Amino acid sequence: GDSVTQMEGPVTLSEEAFLTINCTYTATGYPSLFWYVQYPGEGLQLLLKATKADDKGSNKGFEATYRKETTSFHLEKGSVQVSDSAVYFCALSDRDMGRRALTFGSGTRLQVQP
């Protein structure tokens, strides 16, 4: 079945540091890929998405590129802020599976220190 693997956290960075959160996936079809962010006690918010190979999703300074050859969708940001502290989830939606639900990774907690 489909699966998503994320790097374990927490990831602790100083403000203005460069961020990378690794995400790799296994899927039988041609998935769309997503990054969601969850702030404490809240639901998930869509951060960015990519629907086909070599697409780059971007939002709020975050970027991720859909790499089919390495089955990866790593999240990056050039300069993190304290307000970026949250849990980040990588997810895929495999259109060929039909049910259109998302398969999530286990999440990576980011802590940004001032």
Partner 1 sequence: DGGITQSPKYLFRKEGQNVTLSCEQNLNHDAMYWYRQDPGQGLRLIYYSQIVNDFQKGDIAEGYSVSREKKESFPLTVTSAQKNPTAFYLCASSAGTGAYEQYFGPGTRLTVT
Q: Which residues bind partner 1 (CB under 8 A)?
A: 4, 32, 34, 36, 41-46, 49, 51, 89, 93, 95, 99-102, 104-107
The dihedrals phi and psi of 83, each to the nearest 5 degrees, come to -70, -10
**CB 73, min distance to partner 1, A:** 13
Cβ distance to partner 1 smaller for residue 56 or 95: 95
CB of 43 to partner 1, least distance (A): 4
Considering beta carbons, is residue 17 or 111 the nearer one to partner 1?
111
The SS3 assignment for 29 reads coil
Nearer to partner 1, 7 or 17 (CB): 7
Name the residue nearer to partner 1 (CB basis): 43 or 114. Answer: 43
CB atoms inside a 10 Å sphere around CB 80: 22
Residue pair 4/105 in contact (Cβ under 8 Å)? The answer is yes
The length of the chain is 114
Query: Position 82: which residue type?
Result: V
Q: Locate 11 and state its tokens.
A: 């990831």
